[in-house]
Structure 1
Amino acid sequence: MSVRAENLVWGVKRRVIVDDVSLVVEPNETLGLIGPNGSGKSSLLRLLAGLRRPARGTVAINGKPIAGYGGKELARIVAFVQQSASTDTNVAVEDVVRLGRTPHRSALGAWTPLDGDAVRRALEQVDMFTRRGQRWQTLSGGERQRAHIGRALAQEPSIMFLDEPTNHLDIHHQIEILRLVRDLKITSIVALHDLNLASLFCDRIVVLEAGRIVASGRPEAVLTEDLLRDVFKVEARVRRGLDHGKPEISFAVA
């Protein structure tokens, strides 16, 4: 499914956080959102996912305005993975992932084999199947993040929004999660801090600064030394790697 945003504006009180943003995400594309802290990545994700209403502008999913979707209808299409989530209830990992099936079931509907298969598959995809019975309060931050991604996968969405999904993960699971997201046959919009990971796993990159898009395109076209200096305020060397010419960034440290 495609996502189209036109002239999105959103802010808090008199501060504009997302400023006249327009973009298109094609079906099955993985789009990376990058930018300094406070550039508007998380806010833009929530606008695109329908979790916030813009002050101005529109969002359409597959050509239909997002306001035209019912809540449950939208939840069958869109999954959102936030940076971190907590609960005081000491539930099991499998209980968290089972929540992803809620949009597919009626209030009194019985649990079905299809639901069980979706949950099992999601647990395996995030490498948490053997820990499905482990209690929430005993999990590390990375394990909790993988469980939440599993919940989103159990939802079987057509579009997935992920806000810093690799936070708290070790490098092995950072790579495995982003590889999984890239290889899913769905549309994905991912906010990331790690520019090398964005380069490796995103088809296109959008760079935000102060709520506006300052660059957009394939990683090899966008991630330049000039952009890193102007937007991220760092000196870096960019060279073309062996992975289809994807840029590899090394930072100069004084």
Structure 2
Amino acid sequence: MSVLAENLDWGVGRKTILHDVSISVAPGETLGLVGPNGSGKSSLLRLLAGLKRPRAGLVTINGKSVVQVPRKALSREVAFVQQSAATETSVSVLDVVRLGRTPHRSALSGWSAEDEAAVTEALTRVDMLGHRAQSWQTLSGGERQRVHIARALAQSPRVMFLDEPTNHLDIHHQIEILRMVRDLDLTSVIALHDLNLAAMFCDKIVVMRSGSVFASGTPAEVLTEELLREVFRVTAEVNCITPGAGPHIRFTP
């Protein structure tokens, strides 16, 4: 499914947070959102997922405006993984991931074999099947993040939006989660801080600065030494170690 944002404006009160933002994501493509803190990445993700309404502009998924599609119907197609979530309720990992099946069930429907298979597959993909009976309260930050992603996968979405999904994860699970998302048969938009991970796993990158799109293109086109100096205020060397692969960034003191 394609994702298209045209001339988005959004803010809180009199403060403008996003201005004239336009992006497009082709079906099956993985797009990375990068930029300094406060550049508008998280706000843009919420607009794309239909969780917020823009002041101006339009977001469409597969040609349909996200603000006009009923929430439950949209949730059968779109999953959103936020940076973190907390609950004081005593629930198990399995309970949390089962919530991902809510958009596919009616109030009177029983738990089906299809639901069970979707949950089991989701837990397996994030390497948490062995923790399914464990209490949410006893999980580490990284384990909770993997459970969030499993819940989203249990929705069986065709589009996934992920806000800093590698936060709290060790490097092994950072790579495994991003590889898994890239290899899924869906369209994904991922906000990331790690530019090298973005270069490794994203087909395209959009660089945000001060609520607007500063640059957009392939990792090799976008992640240049000049852009890193101007947007991120760092000095770095950018090299393509493997022909055909994304660039590698080596930050210098």
TM bracket (short chain): over 0.9
C-alpha separation in 2, matches of 1:156 and 1:133:
22
C-alpha separation in 1, matches of 2:31 and 2:244:
17
Counterpart for residue 23 of structure 1: 23
Where in structure 2 are there 5+ consecutive unaligned residues?
none
Deviations 1:160-210 (A, max 9, x none): 000000000000000000000000000000000000000000000000000
Report 1:1-254 matches (<5 A). 1-242=1-242, 244-253=244-253
Q: How many residues align?
A: 253
Deviations 1:76-110 (A, max 9, x none): 01100000111101211011000000000001110
Where in structure 1 are there 5+ consecutive unaligned residues?
none
C-alpha separation in 2, matches of 1:103 and 1:133:
23
Runs of 4 or more above 4 Å deviation: none
Give the 3-state SS of the residue equivalent to 1:172 in structure 2.
Answer: helix
Give the 3-state SS of the residue equivalent to 1:160 in structure 2.
Answer: strand
What is the Cα deviation at residue 243 of structure 1?
A: 6.0
TM-score normalised over the length of structure 1: 0.98
Deviations 1:222-248 (A, max 9, x none): 000000000000001111121623110
**2:22 counterpart letter in structure 1:** S
C-alpha separation in 2, matches of 1:249 and 1:189:
21
**1:248 counterpart letter in structure 2:** H
C-alpha separation in 1, matches of 2:16 and 2:243:
38
Give the 3-state SS of the residue equivalent to 1:161 in structure 2.
Answer: strand
Deviations 1:10-55 (A, max 9, x none): 0112211111001111001000000000000000000000000000
Q: Percent identity?
A: 66
Give the 3-state SS of the residue equivalent to 2:208 in structure 1.
Answer: strand
Give the 3-state SS of the residue equivalent to 1:121 in structure 2.
Answer: helix
Give the 3-state SS of the residue equivalent to 1:42 in structure 2.
Answer: helix
